[in-house]
Amino acid sequence: MPISFTISATTVSWYAAIISTFLLVIQVLNFLRDRVNVTVEVKPNMRVYGSSDYDDDTDFINIIVRNKGKRTVTIDSVGFVTKKRTEKNGLLLDSFTRGPRELSDGKSTNYLVEQSLINFDEIKYIVAYDQAGREFKGK
* Alpha-carbon distance values, 50 to 53, 55, 57, 113 (Å): 9, 9, 11, 17
The fold of the 36-138 domain, in CATH, is Immunoglobulin-like (2.60.40)
pLDDT tens digits, 38-91: 999 999 989 888 877 778 888 999 999 999 988 899 999 999 999 988 778 888
Strands (E), the chain: 38-46, 60-67, 73-82, 90-91, 101-103, 108-114, 123-130, 135-138
pLDDT tens digits, 26-40: 999 988 888 889 999
Angle at 7 between CA 6 and CA 13, to 5 degrees: 170
Domain ranges in the chain are 36-138
Residue 78: Cβ within 10 Å count: 25
For residue 26, what is the enclosing H or E element?
helix 9-33
Q: What is the pTM of this model?
A: 0.75
